[in-house]
Amino acid sequence: MRFLPTGAAQAISPFSGDEALEIVDRDTPNYCTMDINMPGIIGTEAAAQILAKYPGISVAIFSSNIQQSHQTRAAALGAKFVAKPVTEKSVAQALDFFECKT
């Protein structure tokens, strides 16, 4: 099992896709995780806007909505799609994705 070093990350939990965009504009994080099913702008659309404006940010989309169209859209954006339920293995895959992008 791997852990992030203490103080290496700050978790912020936006309520909606719109709020996620505001947070990214304000804080410009290195990494961003989100769900597809969010109020307002859905996760894939928020990811598209984030990556268009900040291509250096790594985005992982965690979702129980595993329709192929969502997975294809995430891949086309350059985001990592992670199916729920989240497991230790899927979190490790997302962390590996983040490390590859930096």
Q: pTM, whole model, 2 decimals?
A: 0.83
pLDDT for res 6? 63
- Ordered structural domains, the chain, with CATH: 17-101 (3.40.50.2300)
**In which element (H, E) is residue 26 found?**
helix 17-27
Mean pLDDT in order along the chain per 10 residues (102 residues): 62 88 93 90 94 94 89 94 90 84 60
Q: How many other C-beta atoms can be found within 10 angstroms of the C-beta atom of residue 46?
A: 26
Residues whose CB falls within 8 Å of the CB of residue 102, separated by 6 or more in sequence, listed in order: 30, 58
